C-alpha cells in the first residue's frame, strides 16, 4: 500500500499521549491539557439537547450550512465584536488550524511561530510543508524586532500553550502595527483567554486590528467532547475557508452547535466557577515547585492550564515514578531544547499536584 509522502514523517502526537496518560489511574497526570470532567455542565447540556431535539428535530439531525448554526454564529459575533459574516464554526480549534494550514501553507512556505509554540499547530502546519521560523520572545511577548517576511505569524497571546506567557498590551499594539507595515498575516489562537486568574484583561489582537485571524473554542470553558470552535476573520477569508471546509466535512455537528447556543448563557457564571477551581491548582503547583524543585526555572502563568519548566537535565532522561508529564523538545519548532517540560494543573486536585511535583523533585535530586 502506497501512502502520501506527507504521512511518512508523522509520529504519534505528544498531545494524544498526554490524554492517554490522563485516563490512566496508575498515574498522577500532569500531562494532558484537559479540563476537569467533574466541572462539565452536564445537567445544562442534557436540558439543552432535550429542548433542541423537541423544538427543532429536523435542524438538529439534518445537514446544515457549512458556516455553522446561525444563532451560535450570532452569539460569537457579538462576543468578538464583528459581523456574523466574519464567523465560521469549526470542529474545535484544531480544525481551524488545519483549515488555515490548507489555506496559507504550500511546500516551503515560511511560518513564524513563538518558541516554544503549541505542538498541535506545529504538527498541523508541518504536514502541509511549512518551514518554521522561531521568533524569540521576552517577558512582554514575541519580539517585534525579530519578525521576518512569511505567510503568517501564529501566536497565542493569552496564557500560551506551553509557555504560559501573556503578551503585554504595549507589545500587542506594537505587533499589529509592525504586521500592518510588513503586510504580515497574524493568526491569533485564544483557547485559554477566558481563564484568567490574576491581572487585568488585555485587548485581543483582533480587536486592535480586524485583519487578524482569530481562533477560539468552547473546549476549555464548556466541554472538549462537543468539538465546537470558531474562526473570526474578514468575510473574504471566511468564504475561502468555507470552500475548504466543504471538502473536509460538509458541515459540523449541528446538534452540538445548537446545544452550545442554548448553554452559552451560563458562561459568565460557569467561567467564574472554573477560575475558582483552577486558580488554587495553579497556586499549588507553583508552591510545590518552589519547595521541591529549587533547581527548576519556571514562569507563573496569569491563566490557562500550564506551567513551563526549564530543567538542569535532559527531560528525555527524566523518569518520574507514576507521574506523567510532557517533555518539551517537540514544542520547539526549529531547535529542540530537551531540558524543558510542560506541566498541566487543570485536571488534578491540589494535594495530588503537590505529591506529583514532590516526585519530580525527588527524581531530579
**Domains of the chain and CATH, by start:** 5-41+268-364 (3.90.1150.10), 43-265 (3.40.640.10)
- The HSE-up count of residue 239 (CA atoms within 13 Å, CB side) is 3
Q: What is the pLDDT along the chain (365 residues), one digit of tens a residue?
A: 877 777 766 666 655 555 555 555 668 999 989 999 999 999 999 999 999 999 999 999 999 999 999 999 999 999 999 999 999 999 999 999 999 999 999 999 999 999 999 999 999 999 999 999 999 999 999 999 999 999 999 999 999 999 999 999 999 999 999 999 999 999 999 999 999 999 999 999 999 999 999 999 999 999 999 999 999 999 999 999 999 999 999 999 999 999 999 999 999 999 999 999 999 999 999 999 999 999 999 999 999 999 999 999 999 999 998 999 999 999 999 999 999 999 999 999 999 999 999 999 999 98
Return the C-alpha cell found at 262. 442554548
In angstroms, rounded to a whole number, what is the distance separating the alpha carbons of residues 173 and 191? 20
47 C-beta neighbours (distance < 10 Å), count: 14
Instruction: Please list, in sequence order, all residues whose beta carbon lies within 8 angstroms of the beta carbon of residue 254, skipping any fewer than 6 positions away.
Output: 59, 60, 61, 62, 63, 64, 68, 69
Supply the pLDDT for residue 177: 98
Supply the pLDDT for residue 32: 87
Supply the pLDDT for residue 166: 97
| 320 to 24, 29, 357: CA distances (angstroms) | 15, 11, 10
SS (H, E, C) the chain: CCCCHHHCCCCCCHHHHHHHHHCCCCCEECCCCCCCHHHCCHHHHHHHHHHHHHHCHHHHHCCCCCCCCHHHHHHHHHHHCCCHHHEEEECHHHHHHHHHHHHHCCCCCEEEEECCCCHHHHHHHHHCCCEEEEECEECCEECHHHCCCCCEEEECCCCCCCCCCCCCHHHHHHHHHHHHHHCCEEEEECCCCCCECCCCCCCCHHHHCCCCEEEEECCCCCCHHHCCEEEECCHHHHHHHHHHHHHHHCCCCHHHHHHHHHHHHHHHHHHHHHHHHHHHHHHHHHHHHHHHCCCCEECCCCECCEEEEECCCCHHHCCCCCEECEECHHHCCCCCCCCEEEEECCCCCHHHHHHHHHHHHHHHC
Supply the pLDDT for residue 182: 95
Amino acid at each position: 500500500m502506497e501512502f502520501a509522502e506527507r504521512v511518512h514523517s508523522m509520529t504519534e502526537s505528544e498531545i494524544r499521549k498526554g490524554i492517554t496518560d490522563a485516563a490512566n489511574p496508575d498515574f498522577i497526570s500532569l500531562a494532558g491539557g484537559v479540563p476537569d470532567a467533574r466541572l462539565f455542565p452536564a445537567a445544562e447540556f442534557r436540558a439543552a439537547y432535550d429542548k433542541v431535539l423537541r423544538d427543532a428535530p429536523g435542524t438538529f439531525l439534518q445537514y446544515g450550512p457549512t458556516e455553522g448554526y446561525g444563532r451560535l454564529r450570532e452569539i460569537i459575533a457579538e462576543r468578538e465584536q464583528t459581523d456574523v459574516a466574519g464567523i465560521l464554526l469549526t470542529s474545535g480549534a484544531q480544525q481551524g488550524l488545519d483549515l488555515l494550514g490548507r489555506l496559507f501553507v504550500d511546500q516551503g512556505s515560511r511560518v513564524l511561530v513563538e518558541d516554544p509554540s503549541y505542538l498541535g499547530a506545529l504538527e498541523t502546519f508541518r504536514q502541509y510543508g511549512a518551514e518554521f521560523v522561531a521568533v524569540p520572545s521576552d517577558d512582554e511577548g514575541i519580539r517585534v524586532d525579530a519578525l521576518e517576511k512569511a505567510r503568517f505569524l501564529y501566536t497565542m497571546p493569552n496564557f500560551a500553550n506551553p509557555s504560559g506567557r501573556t503578551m503585554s498590551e504595549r507589545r500587542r499594539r506594537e505587533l499589529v502595527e509592525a504586521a500592518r507595515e510588513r503586510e504580515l498575516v497574524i493568526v491569533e489562537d485564544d483557547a485559554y483567554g477566558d481563564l484568567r486568574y490574576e491581572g487585568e484583561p488585555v485587548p485581543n489582537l483582533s480587536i486592535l486590528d480586524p485583519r487578524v485571524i482569530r481562533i477560539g473554542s468552547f473546549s476549555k470553558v464548556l466541554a472538549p467532547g462537543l468539538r465546537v470552535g470558531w474562526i473570526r476573520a474578514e468575510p473574504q477569508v471566511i468564504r475561502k475557508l468555507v470552500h475548504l471546509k466543504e471538502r473536509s466535512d460538509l458541515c459540523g455537528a449541528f446538534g452540538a452547535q445548537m446545544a452550545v447556543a442554548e448553554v452559552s448563557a451560563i458562561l459568565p457564571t460557569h467561567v467564574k466557577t472554573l477560575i475558582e477551581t483552577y486558580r488554587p491548582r495553579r497556586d499549588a503547583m507553583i508552591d510545590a515547585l518552589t519547595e521541591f524543585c529549587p533547581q527548576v526555572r519556571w514562569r507563573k502563568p496569569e491563566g490557562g492550564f500550564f506551567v513551563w519548566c526549564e530543567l538542569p537535565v535532559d527531560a528525555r532522561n527524566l523518569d518520574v515514578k507514576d507521574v506523567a508529564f510532557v517533555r518539551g523538545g517537540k514544542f520547539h519548532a526549529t531547535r529542540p531544547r530537551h531540558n524543558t517540560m510542560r506541566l498541566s494543573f487543570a485536571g488534578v486536585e491540589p494535594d495530588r499536584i503537590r505529591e506529583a511535583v514532590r516526585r519530580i523533585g525527588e527524581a531530579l535530586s
